[in-house]
Homo-oligomer: A and B are copies of this chain.
Amino acid sequence: MANLEDAAHFLRGADKILILSHRSPDGDTLGCASALSRALIALGKSVMFRCADPVPPKFTYLFEGIEYGEFEPEHIVTVDVADKTLLGSLEPYGDKTDFAIDHHASCRPFAKETWVEGTAGAACELIARLIPALGAEITPKIADCLYTGISTDTGCFRYPNASANTYRIAADLLEHGANAAEINRLMFDTKSRAAVALLKRLYGNMEFHCDGKCAVFCLTSDVIAETGASEDDLDGVSAMVRQVEGVLLGFTLREREGGVWKVSMRATNPADASVVCAKFGGGGHKGAAGCSLTGGLEDVKARVVAACGEAIKALENK
């Protein structure tokens, strides 16, 4: 397994470098790619960037002013890519990748060399250490890119993956000029009109069962079409269902084709979402799990609510 020094050594000796982000790119993979691009270009190297999916509008500021080249790549680096299938349509590059830099404990190495630190809250933490090791400067723009990755991957320092080291790197980035408050406002405090329409349906139609300990929200095709909510908007909803005081198990039912309903469940300690979802052939973690059921909406909902009720009763009898 490679380390920081190996990555710095490799990049110091490389030129005509292609940087790859994972498909459905998030703030971390794009923060890494944009920050590393800026540093390598400042060192006089030619750099290209590719991603299977377009950069979402909220992240385009990361790439403003970067002068990418057009050339036949001689070296390929991936950032925040835990598996070559996550390159999407760029998967053929997986076997040609020279160096993979990642922070997923579940990383399945595919590159010639892999530097993975499973305890880092974001891959941007690794890049924040790599850039000075390359002899490049953390400019204010680079600090913005790295802060974006760290803040988005840790839910603005809310999730357990934010370690003391994460906070310390963020402190350094602020001192290098990162506009932390403005970035967080853009990332976390702005709701699209579609998201507002979805929240209107969510808070209007959420149902409570089991004495308020189980909450359900049904994302029918109608709701999705009517609100115009994106996958990104929809993803956040399952977590919100669980956030209501007193709720131990919250889930959304999302309509798929052919009468299939996808269940996304979240649990608050001591409830266990993975145990409930396992009853329907699904799985996941204690805090977040999923499964799929087929049938009519009311029937499917009643079955999952009943399973939640049993789990809640079992906890109460403990």
Interface of A toward B, CB cutoff 8 Å? 156-160, 162-168, 170-172, 174-175, 180-181, 184-185, 188-193, 196, 199-200, 202-204, 206, 212, 239, 243-246
Contacts and interface: CB of A to CB of B under 8 A. Distances in A.
A199 B168 CA distance: 35
A171 B173 CA distance: 14
A188 B212 CA distance: 20
A180 B204 contact: no
A196 B168 CA distance: 35
A204 B200 contact: yes
24 contacts: A156-B156, A156-B157, A157-B170, A158-B181, A158-B185, A160-B181, A162-B181, A164-B171, A164-B174, A164-B175, A167-B168, A168-B168, A189-B239, A190-B243, A191-B244, A193-B244, A193-B246, A196-B206, A199-B199, A199-B203, A200-B203, A200-B204, A203-B204, A204-B204
Nearest to A205: B200
Contacts of A188: 158
Contact of A203 (B168, B180, B203): B203
Contacts of A204: 200, 203-204
A156 B170 CA distance: 13
